[in-house]
Amino acid sequence: MSELRFDGRVAIVTGAARGVGRVHAMTLAARGAKVVIMDPGGAVDGTGSSQGPGAEVAQEIKDAGGDAIASFESVTDEAGAARTVELALDTYGKLDVLLNNAGIADPELFENQTVEQFRRMCDVQYMGTVLMCKAAWPHLIKSGGRIVNTCSEGPLGIHGKLTTYGGAKGGVIGFTLCLAAEGVAHGVAVNGFSPRASTRLSSPEIMSKTYDVPAEFFVESMKAYPPELASPAAVYLAHESCHLNGVILVCGGGQVLRMAFAENDGFKSDSLTVEDIAANIDQIVDMTGAGFPGLGAAEKTVQANAEN
């Protein structure tokens, strides 16, 4: 198969100064895309800022012969999101790809989390994704573009101190699937990407705090999950040849798989009672033969629109 190129395409990557976002940006640029590096250079928990990391990535791309420009705006700022999109348009004339990668980590037991911590997590993970999509949407409609939203397996209830993170990422998943349904009419594909990668947000110290396991336990195990083995799925979803829509791909450690919601046939009665549910609960929760709701036919529609 020939190399999937992004020549002539313009992409915004949020959270692109470090970790998986940096690899996204570097890979897109190496494959011909013009890239806007959007990153305010904050700490893992979202506090502080520094222009250094984003500027360094943009310069690294230029030094390698690519084309990139840095934006130091925050995804939590509606005006900043709009300014970043305008920067892409003013510099490169259009927008084809939005890859929402910005995120923070702040693991703690639910009883110890403050309401402010929940708000900050939602501001970055959920509202940051919404604000960027809102600013980019009309321009992606013009180009028949691609949106890739970084999701997570956290909302599946994986053991750990993830109520703030998993809750916010659950919102991103729902938003992604619903926006994908709307995107069909415009030929805009919206998909999700869930990385398994060793980054600042999954450092041994963060993982230790999340799972109450000594940090040393993660030093060796996380070496199998470099960002370079997670990013390919997001880059594929961003490509114009990808006709998936409303799909979430999990990728890391050399493995890629699909994560999806499923529904079974359950149990039905015209006179349903509490006792009926109790008597048939095994059938109700049995997921054997379950199917995917929603967007099965939509993928073909996006493909048809993209080809016209």
Main-chain phi, psi angles of 210, to 5 degrees:
-70, -40
Pick from 186, 102, 207: nearest CA to 144: 186
- In the chain, what is the straight-line distance between the N-terminal and C-terminal CA atoms, in Å? 23
Rg over CA atoms, the chain: 20
Q: How far apart are CA 51 and CA 244, in angstroms?
A: 35
Does residue 147 sit in helix, strand or coil?
Answer: strand
Counting other chains too, the contacts that 166-174 makes at CB distance below 8 Å and 24 or more residues apart are 167/118, 167/121, 167/122, 168/118, 168/121, 168/122, 168/124, 168/125, 168/126, 169/125, 169/126, 171/122, 171/125, 171/126, 172/125, 172/126, 172/129, 173/248
Q: List the structure tokens of 170.
A: 């659950």
Sheet harboring 146-150: ordered strands across?
Answer: 67-71, 34-38, 10-14, 97-100, 146-150, 189-195, 248-252, 255-259
Please list the active-site residues. Answer: 165
Of 243, 223, 222, residue with least CA distance to 300: 243
